[in-house]
Amino acid sequence: MSNTSNKIQHFHIDQKIKSEILEKISLFKNKKIMIIGDVGVDEYIMGAVKRISPEAPVPVLEVTEEDKRLGLASNVAQNVASLGGEAILISVIGADSGAETLKHLLQKSKVSSEFLITDVTRPTTRKTRIMTGHHHLVRVDHEIRKNLSAETEQKIISQIEKNISVADCVIIEDYAKGIFSLSLVEKIVQICKREKKYLMVDPHQTKFAEFYKGVDLIKPNYNEALALTNIQEDDIENPSERVWAVGRQLQKMTGASDVVLTQGKDGMAIFTKDEQVVQVPTFAKKVFDVTGAGDTVIAALALGVSSGLPLAQACVLANYAAGIVVAKVGCVPCEIQELKIEIGTL
């Protein structure tokens, strides 16, 4: 592995590349991206703490503001919509107030809720963060992390089968809330191969890499990649060789033709079938909150690849989009106009 650094190519971004990316952005409006995964609502209750409760030694929050936002795979869907595409969001919700909130937020974001499946035995995932200033006092989670029933899983497969023909790209968005069994992933892979649809996965680090065997592209961050491959970081002394080892091991274990390894301030490492690894820089100018940045990345990647961009250019596009959202607080989508300005069209 001593010659690893010679195989890492730093992607040069010039005006020609930017112009090609901007040209493809105009094609986003015709693209349909199917997103299959766990959905949820992020709730924020904010205020000031000025006293301790007389009933128990706990702080009393005087509420000044409340906010509700789309989270998990529904944030991927709203990013697809805000970038001009059409999201086909397939997931499972409960029969509860959380489901109604989710549907309302989706409607506001121009994402259809018609492909969501209701399961009365499961609550809609909600994460309520109670905060004072930037400090979290407590988080309250409403969710069940267990596998779907065979009946509900079959309903997901039926929705995929009904809509796969119109999808330009498919995303598995795994937040380990129980949507994905190994058999469901295998079925999605089979359907996508049969229909010749490019299949991406945003994996969860609690799974093993082979869980996603057969996908075309896998997009973990560096720490997730270490967990998925069970590679011990300390066993490889040279940092560039660590990235090389984990990316190639992910390819081997999943059979994916493409690996996009996100590395925060170090950008992305792109692995394809050939020996070359391409490094794409980050474009973030300010980083206030990385929440949801990965969702923005995979949404932009899917739209970019579907619109005909080579993978390296699609990753440049995705890094520009991520740079926009990390400069904001909370889980917010990247707007297409912001993206055009950032790349340099206006």
Residue 326 and residue 62: Cα distance in Å, rounded? 28
* Structure confidence at residue 345 (pLDDT): 53
Residue 151 has pLDDT above 60, yes or no: yes
- The residue type found at 308 is G
Domain boundaries, the chain: 4-343
Using DSSP bridges, classify how beta strands 258-262 and 8-10 pair: parallel, antiparallel or unpaired.
unpaired
CATH architecture of the domain covering 4-343: 3-Layer(aba) Sandwich (3.40)
- The pTM of this model reads 0.93
pLDDT digits over 3-26, tens only? Answer: 555 567 888 888 999 999 999 999
Q: Which is the catalytic residue, given 38, 168, 202, 295?
A: 295
**pLDDT tens column, 230-240:** 998 888 878 77
- String of DSSP letters for 240-260: HHHHHHHHHHHHHHH--SEEE
Question: What band does 44 get if pLDDT is binned at 50, 70 and 90?
Answer: very high
Q: Region 102-114: what's the mean pLDDT?
A: 98
pLDDT at 168 over 50: yes
pLDDT tens per residue across span 62-93 = 999 999 999 999 999 999 999 999 999 999 99
pLDDT at 52 over 60: yes
Q: Which amino acid, 42? A: D
**Residue 1 pLDDT grade (very low, low, confident, very high; cuts 50, 70, 90):** very low
The CA R_g of the chain, rounded to the nearest whole Å, is: 20
- Residue 295 annotated in active site: yes
pLDDT digits 0-9 by tens, 236-253? 878 778 898 999 999 999
Tokens 């970038």, residue located: 83
Residue range 216-222: mean pLDDT, rounded:
96
Can you state the angle between helices 73-82 and 97-108, rounded to 10 degrees? 20
Average pLDDT, the chain: 92
